[in-house]
Amino acid sequence: MKNCLVLLLIFSCLTVTAQNPELFEEATTAYNDGKYANAIEHYLQILENGEHSAALYYNLGNCYYKSNQIAPSIYYYEKALLLSPGDKEIKNNLAYARQMTIDAIEPLPESGLTKIYNSIIGQFSFDQWAYAAVAFVVLFVLCYLAYFFLRLSSQKRIAFVSSMTSIIVAFICLGFAFIQKNNYNSNQPAIVFADECLVKSEPNNRSSEVFLLHEGTKVKVLDGLEDYKKIELADGKIGWVHQDEIRLLKDF
């Protein structure tokens, strides 16, 4: 069943990336030839056509990383991670890109149970958890039907236990999907694109400077007022920045 779920997720990703195969192939060829600017142009054209995927954002992140453009590389790696949160290659490349940033921000400490919980639920996005729930519901139906049609008591017992296990796992996956969906809706991350970003105490030019950020730093947007956004760092610091100095990750 695990293999079927993996195949389902791979198929869904391939379906998205295959929406414009010619442009995608041209961009990949340009990337392999070291023509990163051309590759970026082709990938962005795919985005302009309203098509996106984790693979597309990941490749864009690679192009910008190879071009030594910190903020765009982190930005697109982060977008890829939103669609495929359990992808190790995306996480590894994002970690390399973050090493080029200037700001060293220590996140607030988490308890051991919180880390374990976040690591489990963060393996998939909310739609992937939902797909998993549907798959286990289908398995439940098949096992339950097998329970009625099988004759041997040992086989009926296995089918019954499998069906009950499948429906329990399905409800767990569905719960994770709702939790991930709520987290997704409540969290509004962004990346600093300005070389230097002066964080203000209030949403105006006259207010005092609270701290300084540099390109590539990830922030959380809490609120907005006119041309300013209220942001929070991973260490809990809060301030206001001009909206042109950051780019929201969830713009798709």
Task: Decide if 33 is inside a domain.
Answer: yes
Average pLDDT over every residue of 62-78: 96
pLDDT score, position 184: 84
Are residue 75 and residue 116 in the same domain, yes or no?
no
Band (pLDDT 50/70/90 cuts) for residue 120 is: confident
Average pLDDT over every residue of 3-27: 53
Domain stop point among 70, 98, 126? 98
Band (pLDDT 50/70/90 cuts) for residue 65 is: very high
Average pLDDT over every residue of 56-76: 95
pLDDT score, position 67: 94
Q: What is the CATH number of the domain that holds 23?
A: 1.25.40.10
Domain of residue 150 covers: 112-186
Are residue 68 and residue 148 in the same domain, yes or no?
no
Are residue 66 and residue 153 in the same domain, yes or no?
no
Are residue 74 and residue 138 in the same domain, yes or no?
no
Q: Can you tell me the distance from the alpha carbon of 65 to that of 72, in angstroms, rounded to the nearest whole number? A: 8
Average pLDDT over every residue of 174-183: 91
Are residue 165 and residue 198 in the same domain, yes or no?
no
Are residue 174 and residue 193 in the same domain, yes or no?
no
Does the predicted TM-score (pTM) go above 0.85? no
Band (pLDDT 50/70/90 cuts) for residue 74 is: very high
From the CA atom positions of the chain, what is the Rg in Å?
Answer: 22
pLDDT score, position 252: 64
Least confident of 50-59, 167-176, 190-199: 50-59
Look at residue 24 and tell me whether its pLDDT is greater than 50: yes
Q: What is the CATH number of the domain that holds 226?
A: 2.30.30.40
Domain stop point among 53, 76, 98? 98
Q: Which of 140, 194, 193, 136 is nearest to 163 (CA)?
A: 140
Backbone φ and ψ of 85, nearest 5°: -65, -20
Total number of domains in the chain: 3
Q: Which of 16, 71, 61, 70 is nearest to 36 (CA)?
A: 61
Average pLDDT over every residue of 180-198: 91
pLDDT score, position 15: 41
- DSSP character at residue 245: G
| Torsion angle, alpha carbons of 216, 45, 7, 87, to 10 | -10
Look at residue 116 and tell me whether its pLDDT is greater than 70: yes
